[in-house]
Amino acid sequence: MAATSSSWAEFMEQIEKAQSAAALSVIEQRLFGRKDGAMTLAMKELKELDESARKKKAMELNEKKKKLIDAIENRKATLASPQDATLRKEDALDVTLRLPRKEQGHLHLIPEFYAEVEEIFGRMGFDVMESPEMETEDLNFTQLNIPEDHPARDTQDTFWMKMKGKEKKVLRTHTSPGQVRYMRSHKPPFRAIFPGKVYRKDADATHSPMFHQFEGMLVDKNVAISNLKGTLDYFAQKFFGKERKSRLRPHHFRFTEPSFEVDVTCGIC
Q: What is the pLDDT of residues 61-78, one digit of tens each?
A: 888 888 889 988 888 888
**C-alpha pair distances (Å), 195 with each of 6, 164, 177, 192:** 36, 29, 11, 10
Pick from 119, 28, 12, 7: nearest CA to 71: 12
Residue 1 has pLDDT above 60, yes or no: no
**C-alpha pair distances (Å), 21 with each of 15, 117, 209, 219, 261:** 10, 20, 41, 35, 36
pLDDT grade, residue 81 (50/70/90)? low
| pLDDT value at residue 131 | 94
Mean pLDDT for the stretch of residues 91-115: 81
Please list the residues that pair with 193 across neighbouring strands.
128, 216
Q: What is the dihedral of CA 180, 184, 187, 190, to 10 degrees?
A: -30
User: Which of the two residues, 181 and 36, has the higher pLDDT score?
Assistant: 181
Residue 3 has pLDDT above 80, yes or no: no
User: Which of the two residues, 225 and 7, has the higher pLDDT score?
Assistant: 225
| pLDDT value at residue 52 | 83
Q: What is the dihedral of CA 204, 211, 179, 142, to 10 degrees?
A: 30
- C-alpha angle 129/111/236, rounded to 5°? 75
pLDDT grade, residue 261 (50/70/90)? very high
Q: Exposed, middle or buried: residue 67 (CB in 10 Å: 0-12, 13-18, 19+)?
A: middle
| pLDDT value at residue 267 | 83
| pLDDT value at residue 92 | 63
- C-alpha angle 61/66/69, rounded to 5°? 120
| pLDDT value at residue 231 | 94
pLDDT grade, residue 229 (50/70/90)? very high
Please list the residues that pair with 247 across neighbouring strands.
263
Mean pLDDT for the stretch of residues 182-206: 92
- Is residue 178 within 8 A of residue 196, CB to CB? The reply is yes
Instruction: Provide, rounded to the nearest whole percent, the portion of the chain with pLDDT above 70.
Output: 92
> Is the omega angle on the peptide bond into residue 258 within 30 degrees of 0, that is, cis?
yes
Mean pLDDT for the stretch of residues 116-127: 95
Distinct helix (H) and strand (E) counts, the chain? 8, 8
What's the CA gap between 46 and 32, in Å, rounded? Answer: 16
Range with top average pLDDT, 68-77, 178-187, 203-212: 178-187
| pLDDT value at residue 209 | 92
Q: Exposed, middle or buried: residue 32 (CB in 10 Å: 0-12, 13-18, 19+)?
A: buried
Residue 90 has pLDDT above 70, yes or no: no
Task: Tell me the chain's radius of gyration from C-alpha atoms.
Answer: 23
What's the CA gap between 267 and 116, in Å, rounded? Answer: 18
Residues 6+ apart with CB under 8 A from 40: 32, 33, 34, 122, 125
Residue 85 has pLDDT above 50, yes or no: no
What's the CA gap between 16 and 24, in Å, rounded? Answer: 9
Range with top average pLDDT, 50-59, 85-94, 147-156: 50-59
| pLDDT value at residue 223 | 94
User: Which of the two residues, 9 and 91, has the higher pLDDT score?
Assistant: 9
Phi first, then psi: give them for residue 184, nearest 5 degrees. Answer: -75, -25
Residue 5 has pLDDT above 90, yes or no: no
Tell me the pTM: 0.58
User: pLDDT averaged over the chain?
Assistant: 86
